[in-house]
Structure 1
Amino acid sequence: MDTSQVIATIPALQLIEKLRAKHGPLLFHQSGGCCDGSSPMCYPVGDFIVGERDVKLGEIGGAAFFISPSQFEYWKHTQLVIDVVPGRGGMFSLENGEGVRFLVRSRLFTDEEFARLRDEGRA
């Protein structure tokens, strides 16, 4: 089983590519529940300052995906699956106005997968 800590569905990858064509290189940050709930937020590289303690979970569609340390503690037992659904994107996220929004789904890692993540220093 894939132990990537963040993956994306095909519709999400297609939207990432569309946004990259419009805005250039992108990055994601998993929102901590402020103004836009707990949505994955998409920004042009350079428009969002990643915190020095933020955790890089991986990349989706060539875009780095970060999460705050407190969110990481909550989510470290799960694989985040970034998807796209109809709706309105987060106020500051690039998909706002596209008629769709990024959505985080998740699945729990098995005990074996989580042990592998710990052994690799990723949990």
Structure 2
Amino acid sequence: MAQGRGSATLGGLLAVCLLLGVVAHIADAETHTVDWSFNADAWSKGKRFRAGDVLEFNYDRTKHNVVVVDAGGYSTCSSSGRTYNSGSDHITLGSGTSYFICSLKSHCGMGMKMAITAN
């Protein structure tokens, strides 16, 4: 019987270690304040992003919005994704490339779009 209790303790210890690793990864996440303007893609150049990081978009909601799109929407400036329009949006990055555009007044076509790759 003692052997069974030891296995349960080891399993519990493993679960705690795994949970601490997840919490540590979340604690390492950074918040990046985005320069959401007509040259937004230039803002992201040279920066490193990780899954779990948060992008903070601050803008005048009467003039702009943020739309999460796929690669096709990014290339063609078509807004088929989720639209944010609070003027102070916080979007958590997943792993891979995330695409953002402003869908108002042809702003995307004037350079108000951004692709972010998170590892």
Shared fold by TM > 0.5? no
Between Structure 1 and Structure 2, the one with more strand by share is: 1
Structure exhibiting the larger radius of gyration computed from Cα positions:
2
Q: TM-score, normalised by structure 1?
A: 0.30
Q: TM-score, normalised by structure 2?
A: 0.30
